[in-house]
């Protein structure tokens, strides 16, 4: 059997938004397997260096299909 995903061949890169527990700085990074909203993750805060952050949202950025004319 060759299961085919219908029309999911576009590159979709979800973004995970994180909030630092210490300073409430918001940060985002590419989605990782196992991420879910309100999960505590070990992620280094770019501002205060804390390694405890909370996932506050996961967004899917769908790249629009814009064909460039050559």
Binding site for Zn ion (CB under 5 A): 20, 22-23, 25, 45, 47-48, 50
> Over the Cα atoms of the chain, what is R_g?
16
Nearest distance in Å: CB 23, Zn ion: 4
Nearest distance in Å: CB 48, Zn ion: 3
Kindly tell me which of 50 and 56 has the beta carbon lying closer to Zn ion.
Answer: 50
Q: What is the rounded CA–CA span in Å between residue 37 and residue 25?
A: 16
Kindly tell me which of 15 and 48 has the beta carbon lying closer to Zn ion.
Answer: 48
Q: What is the rounded CA–CA span in Å between residue 41 and residue 63?
A: 27
């Amino acid at each position: 059997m060759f299961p085919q995903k219908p029309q999911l061949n576009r590159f979709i890169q979800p973004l995970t938004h994180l909030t630092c527990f210490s300073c409430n700085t918001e940060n985002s990074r590419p989605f990782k397997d196992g991420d879910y909203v309100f999960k505590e993750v070990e992620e280094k805060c770019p501002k205060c260096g804390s390694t405890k952050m909370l996932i506050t949202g996961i967004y899917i950025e769908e790249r629009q299909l814009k064909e460039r004319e050559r």
